Amino acid sequence: MGAEIAALMGFFGITGAFALIGTVLAGWMAWRIVEKAGLPGWTGLGSILLSLTAIGAIVPLILLWIFAYMRWPRDEPAPAAPGYAPSAGSGPSPSPRPAGPAALPPPPAALADGRGWRLAGPLGNGGTVSLSVVGGSAAYVLTSTAAAGPGELIVPDSSVGQPHARLMTAGSRLGLEDLGSPGGTYIDGARLLPEHGPRDISAARVIRLGSVELALTRA
C-alpha cells in the first residue's frame, strides 16, 4: 500500500511541477504579448494567474476575447501631421476614428507651392501606370475599378482593392490612408494599416499598393 501511495505522490508531484513550469512560462509570455500590444504587462500575467483561482479558466478565456477585439494602444493614431483632415464622404471609411486635431492653415509667410505629385510604376501585366496628383487641398481614392468616378485614381491591377487607399493633399504635403484592402499598403516597405490613419508621405520614395510599386516624385 505504501508503494502505491508513494507512486501516486510521485505522479502528482511530477504533474504539479509541469503545471507550475507551464504557468510561469505562460505568465511570462502573456506579459510580453500584452506589452507588445501596448498594454501593461501585469495584465497578461494576471489573466494567466487567474486560471489558478476558483474562477478557473472562464475569466482568462473572456479576457482573451476582449484582448483580441479591443483597441490596442499600439494602434492608437500618432499625433496627426498638421494640415490633414480626413475627408468626409469621398470614399468608405473602414472604421470610425476619433476626431483628430483641427487642420491648421499653412503659415502666412509660406510661399505657395503649386507643384503636384506623380506616382508611376510597372503593373503586374507588363504595363505601366502613371498618376498625377495636383497640389492644393484635395482627396483622391486609389482604386482598381475600371469605371472611375470623380476623385478616383485607377491602378488597374488585381492586387489593388476597390477602393484601396486614399491620397490627400494639403498645401505642399501629401498624405496616404489605407482603406483596409487585403493587398495591403506600404510606405517605403513599411506596412500602413487602417488603424494608423492618414500619414505624411511627402518624403516617401516608394508606395506599394498590393503588388504594385509606385515611385513617388514631385511633378
Interaction site with other proteins (CB under 8 A): 22, 25-26, 28-30, 32-33, 35-39, 61, 64-65, 67-69, 72-75, 78, 186-187, 190-193, 196, 199-200, 203-204
91 torsion bin: left (phi>0), alpha (psi -120 to 50), beta (else): left
The nearest distance, CB 164 to other proteins, in angstroms, is 15
Q: Nearer Cβ to other proteins, position 73 or 105? A: 73
The nearest distance, CB 128 to other proteins, in angstroms, is 26
Q: Nearer Cβ to other proteins, position 112 or 203? A: 203
Q: Nearer Cβ to other proteins, position 67 or 140? A: 67
Q: Nearer Cβ to other proteins, position 134 or 203? A: 203
The nearest distance, CB 178 to other proteins, in angstroms, is 9
Q: Nearer Cβ to other proteins, position 68 or 111? A: 68
The nearest distance, CB 191 to other proteins, in angstroms, is 6
Q: Are strands 152-154 and 136-143 parallel, antiparallel or unpaired?
A: parallel
* Angle, helix 41-50 to helix 58-69, in steps of 10 degrees: 150
Q: Which residues of 122-136 are buried (b: 16+ CB within 10 A; e: fewer)?
A: ebeeeeebebebebe
Q: Which residues pair with 129 in a beta bridge?
A: 121
The nearest distance, CB 40 to other proteins, in angstroms, is 10
Computed on alpha carbons and rounded to an integer, the radius of gyration of the chain in Å comes to 26
Listed in sequence order, the DSSP H helices in the chain are: 2-36, 41-50, 58-69
